[in-house]
């Protein structure tokens, strides 16, 4: 990841603040740069506006956990289980359950 890529993603998000997939892309670049607080904010915005199948929820859970926000991470994991179940992603459900067991 280069600083240029992160700057590009930030510019895209500024131009398209309602584009959930751009926010998800920005969140992923922020995670690569270890900018966890900002990544959590972008992931929360993405998840509030897009019916994610589970992957975004998993990234959000892991980010919140890394930030020490365990209760928020637990709540996000429960929502992730719902999303992954709704889309038939059994492997993701199992990953969420592993994280829930750790709480």
CA 20 – CA 25 distance, rounded (Å): 9
Tokens of 32: 């690569």
Same domain, 62 and 85: yes
Are residues 58 and 93 located together in one domain of the fold? yes
Report pTM.
0.92
Residue numbers of the domain that contains 87: 53-103
pLDDT at 2: 61
pLDDT range class, residue 1, cuts 50, 70, 90: very low
How many CB atoms neighbour CB 63 within 10 A?
25
Q: Can you tell me which residue has the tokens 């928020």?
A: 72
Q: Count other C-beta atoms under 10 Å from residue 4's C-beta.
A: 8
Same domain, residue pair 33 and 63: no
> How far from the centroid of its chain's Cα atoms is residue 57's Cα?
5
Q: Are 3 and 29 contained in the same domain?
A: yes
- Domain shared by 61 and 19, yes or no: no
Residues 29, 58 within the same domain: no
Token readout for 59 is: 């990234």
Task: Give me the number of domains the chain comprises.
Answer: 2
Do residues 44 and 61 both lie within one domain? no
């Amino acid at each position: 990841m280069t600083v240029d890529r992160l700057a590009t993603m930030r510019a895209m998000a500024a131009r398209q603040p309602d584009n959930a997939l751009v926010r998800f892309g920005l969140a992923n670049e922020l995670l690569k740069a270890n900018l966890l607080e900002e990544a959590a904010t972008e992931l929360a915005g993405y998840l509030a506006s897009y019916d994610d199948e589970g992957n975004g929820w998993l990234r959000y859970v892991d980010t919140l956990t890394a930030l020490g926000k365990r209760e928020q991470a637990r709540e996000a994991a429960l929502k992730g289980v719902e999303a992954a179940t709704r889309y038939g992603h059994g492997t993701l459900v199992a990953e969420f359950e592993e994280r829930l067991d750790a709480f």
